[in-house]
Structure 1
Amino acid sequence: MSRAHDVARRYLASGSLMRQGVSIFAVGDPVGAQLNAAIRRTLFVLGDERSEAWNGVLQAANALRWRRMTQPQPREFHTQQPLIDEIVRQAKRLRNLVGDGALLDLIAEGAVAVGETDSPVGAVLLESIQEVGPQGCVVVASKGAARAGLASWLDEVGATVLVPSELDTIGAGIEISYVIAPPTFMPSSVVTAPMTPEVTFVMPAWFGNRSVPSATFGEHAEGQIVVKATVHQIGDTTEPEAAVDEAEEIGDIYFPQPVWGTRTSGDREPSSDEVEAWKVLLAGGQGLWLDDGDRIRSLDPKQPEGARVGYEAVKSIVPGTYLVLRQGETERGAMYEQAVAALGPRAAGILATQVRWKASLEERLARIGSRQAMTELERLGVRSYGQVRPWTDPRLICPQRDADFALLLDWLGEPSQPTYGNAITLRRAVYKASADLRKQLEAAVGRADLRVLERDGTLHLDLPREGFRGMIVARVLAKAPFTEIVNRHQVRVPFTDGSAQWLD
């Protein structure tokens, strides 16, 4: 489809929505309402000053509620029983630690009930698909994990399940989009730049916010265009007796969120064997310390076969990015070792100059500190001055930008040659080793079932290469808003982290 054709379709679909608005099917879900009421009652009673001991059970319960809202497929297509078991286990454990046991009972009972019943939202969705025919509609999931869950069910009836970013790929014959989430949790483009003439949100009635998003720039425009919504109440929408009124101000965030706490490293500078790093939570109950390096290997499942494995700038890592990681050790270290081995007799001389300029940098940092060093390098025109501390790592060969390296050596008072040339030679050897690994990764990805990656958020890659058998692909779930000071050997090595368990 050409870009012009795409724009024309969106224009026509937008005109249709402006005339008739969107529909919202608010489906009665008494069991989901029971769990929702239990969570909201607990948050209301405990208030903002609740003990951190509650975080685990509330996070797990919130994740289950989110799945009830965005993945209404029948129970046989769900994998939520471990989550329900965890909620019940935590509720029992907390009973001896906190008061308000009745609140724990409400949450546990609500979770168990969810595991024993199918969501009525799913039945309404299936009926709607069958009414228009699977070839005349698309189902829009909130994100990849929800799409995988819904697709495992709806593939049987021939329905197409997408995420919002894929809507521009649908065919011209599609008349209606069924969006499986409340409007407030979806990108505004679903209604402001639609690809289908009709858009219907299918959601549980117990979620009270039915507001429809407007264009991000709309609030600044004169005569803002507002898309109207028609709400259709379906089924038993009676609220439980324990429900807290929607008007009450409760810190209730339906979308599963990590609990980051606050920075514990204080305002000190890292020592020579430490580095500033962001904590990243990954699918599969894993975490990662990510330093401010130039880039990290990633995978894009949407790309054609042979072009899926690449690199992502560290600053561009966001939830939904897929990282390719080596278990137990960084890929960077292994690539460095292979590059050194490939250099043969030349390696000794090259490593000697590397050691010399990095030792000089270590000495300068110890004398003036990282902050002063960054200020001076920025003044000299070094664009990547913020990485002055990571450059002391032997495996980080030199600044990515050659001009930055030349300025750095001059600032250190180190001779340009042979140091500069040796570093470039070593970097090229690392690039070659990395390119060889990329080919093997592409082949492994080509053999893998990427539907498993979308469903589970993690995938093991079986490589025949010595030292790289433990390669995984993992989806980023969240990235901390602040850095911590950690040991340099901890960065870019995945580790088990329970706080990531229920985020996907």
Structure 2
Amino acid sequence: MSRVHDVIRRYKASVEIVRNGVEIFVVGDPAGARLNAAVRRLIYTVTENGSDVWSDLLRAANALRWRRMMQPQPGGFHPAVTEAASAVVREAHMLRGAVADEVLLEEIAAAAKGVRQTDSPVGHELWRSIEEADPSICAVVASSNRARAGLQEWLNSLSVPVLLPGELGDVKERVEQLYVAGPPSFFPPSLVTAPAAGELTFLMPAWFGHRAIPVSRLADQADGAMKARVKERTVGDLSEPESAVSDDELIEDTYYPQPVWRGRISGDREPERDEVEARKILLAGNRAIWLDDGDRIRALDPRQPEGERVTYAAVEDVVPGTYLVLRHGETELGAMYEAALHLLGPRAGAIEATQRVWKAALEARLANRGVRASIVELRARGVRSAARVRAWTEATLISPKHESDLVLLLEWLGLAVEPSHQNAMALRRAVYRASADLREELEDAVSRADLAALERDGHMSLGIERAGFRSMVVARVQARSPYTEIVPRLHTRTPFSDRSGEWLE
């Protein structure tokens, strides 16, 4: 479908949405309502007491509540709910005798068991609505990769596609009805303002009170801004337990599982010789990495066609939802460097020698002038990536990204440009060749992998036969730290166990 054709189709869908309005099915969910009331009481208790003793229980309970709301498929297609519910019961049991409010512990454990034992009525209503409308003209919108994977497995027998909000340009022309699994406030305004189908329905549990549809921030200032009517329809048992905590008492209830960041501990000092500023990246599978300020990192896009899935992502573009391809025990960069030297054959010794000379000279200059002063001098000479000068002393980091920066750097060091410049470029080309060979092997491994399981679980291992690369893993980014820490350079880009992102989507 051409871009123009897609725009025309969306304008037509907008007309239909304005004419018919947006439907919201508010579905009674007594088990979910009981859990919601217990979680709100737990949030209030944590806020009032200011204690971390409840934090593990709260994160598990909030994740369970979120999954109940945003992933309404039955339990047989929903191991994530079983996982979270079991964790809530376990954490509540561990706190017995450690906290005063035993009644709250009993209530939240009982509520978790109730959710584990009952299917979401929202899911039942979604299935019924699709069958009533005709599955061949329907599509479902999910909030996350994990939600989509579970919903797609459940809806496969109806042949109904499940998409993320950013993929609605892929909606087929035959689709007339979009069902959105979750409250409107957790989805972008474009679902309503640039609809991909003429009929739009949100399905949500009654215990979530905010039902306004999302609007653009510019809607109030725009002439003729699109405003759709909301048609609310209630379904099922709407009874809820009496809440012990009012909205006024509960300062903040985010619903969406949040990462816990402890704050920077490195202070304002400069990194030492073998250290680097890096951000903590939380990954699916209870892993994390320290991501430095390098140019790029190997990634995977499971939505691309076979042969085009393994690629590179710019470091600044590594955000939640990105899939990273990582090597256990050592960074890929070190292994690629060794592979490149092997490809260079007898030339490798001379090339390594010139690399050692200019890197040693750079190390001495940094020790003498200081990193900050050196960055200022290099920028004055026109070196574009001067901020990375400390990283250039690393043996496996071949040269600055820009070839002209290396020339300017060598001149600043008082060294002859050649043969150091040409040798560095030859080594870089060899690394590219080695990286391309690995990419082909990774593509082959990915073609044999279960990508549906990857989207559901967020991580998987890759079977690579090459020596030194047998322990490769793909993991989805769950969260990115808002600040950097100073860490040993050897610790960057290497996965390590970390449960901080256990309950993130």
Partner of 2:487 in structure 1? 486
- The change in CA–CA distance for 1:219 and 1:340 in structure 2 (over 3 A counts) is farther
Question: 1:421: Cα distance to partner?
Answer: 1.1
Question: 1:311: Cα distance to partner?
Answer: 0.6
Partner of 1:67 in structure 2? 67
Contact 1:43 1:250 in 2 (8 A): no
SS in 1 for 2:89: helix
1:77-226 aligned at under 5 Å gives the runs 77-79=77-79, 80-222=81-223, 224-226=225-227
Contact 1:138 1:160 in 2 (8 A): yes
Show CA shifts across 1:169-226 (max 9, x none). 1222211100001111111111110110010000111111111111243244245433
Partner of 1:54 in structure 2? 54
The one-letter code matched in structure 2 to 1:268 is R
SS in 2 for 1:200: strand
Contact 1:87 1:108 in 2 (8 A): yes
- Determine what percentage of the aligned residue pairs are the same residue: 55
- The change in CA–CA distance for 1:227 and 1:377 in structure 2 (over 3 A counts) is farther
1:263 paired to 2:264: yes
The one-letter code matched in structure 2 to 1:271 is E
SS in 2 for 1:233: strand
Q: Distance in 2 between matches of 1:393 and 1:96?
A: 52
Question: 1:462: Cα distance to partner?
Answer: 0.8
1:10-409 aligned at under 5 Å gives the runs 10-47=10-47, 50-79=50-79, 80-222=81-223, 224-409=225-410
Question: 1:118: Cα distance to partner?
Answer: 0.7
Equivalenced residue count is 504
The one-letter code matched in structure 2 to 1:376 is E
- What runs of 5+ residues in structure 2 fail to find an aligned partner? none
Partner of 1:415 in structure 2? 416
Show CA shifts across 1:60-81 (max 9, x none). 1111111100111111111132
Q: Distance in 2 between matches of 1:187 and 1:60?
A: 26
The one-letter code matched in structure 2 to 1:2 is S
Contact 2:359 2:392 in 1 (8 A): yes
Contact 1:188 1:216 in 2 (8 A): no
Contact 1:134 1:160 in 2 (8 A): no
Show CA shifts across 1:285-338 (max 9, x none). 111111111100111112211111111110111111111111111111100011
- The change in CA–CA distance for 1:263 and 1:231 in structure 2 (over 3 A counts) is same
SS in 2 for 1:298: strand
Question: 1:243: Cα distance to partner?
Answer: 4.8
The one-letter code matched in structure 1 to 2:480 is K
TM-score, normalising length from structure 1? 0.97
Question: 1:5: Cα distance to partner?
Answer: 0.9
Partner of 2:456 in structure 1? 455
1:465-504 aligned at under 5 Å gives the runs 465-504=466-505
Q: Distance in 2 between matches of 1:321 and 1:258?
A: 16
Show CA shifts across 1:144-191 (max 9, x none). 100111111111222221111222212222111000011111111111
Show CA shifts across 1:226-261 (max 9, x none). 323121121122221235333544221111111012
Q: Distance in 1 between matches of 2:336 and 2:97?
A: 51
Q: Distance in 2 between matches of 1:124 and 1:154?
A: 13
Out of 286-295 and 223-232, give the one that drifted further.
Answer: 223-232
- The change in CA–CA distance for 1:398 and 1:120 in structure 2 (over 3 A counts) is same
SS in 1 for 2:431: helix
The one-letter code matched in structure 2 to 1:418 is P
SS in 1 for 2:341: helix
SS in 1 for 2:23: strand
Contact 1:269 1:369 in 2 (8 A): no
Q: Distance in 2 between matches of 1:219 and 1:404?
A: 48
- What runs of 5+ residues in structure 1 fail to find an aligned partner? none
RMSD: 1.5
Q: Distance in 1 between matches of 2:497 and 2:197?
A: 43
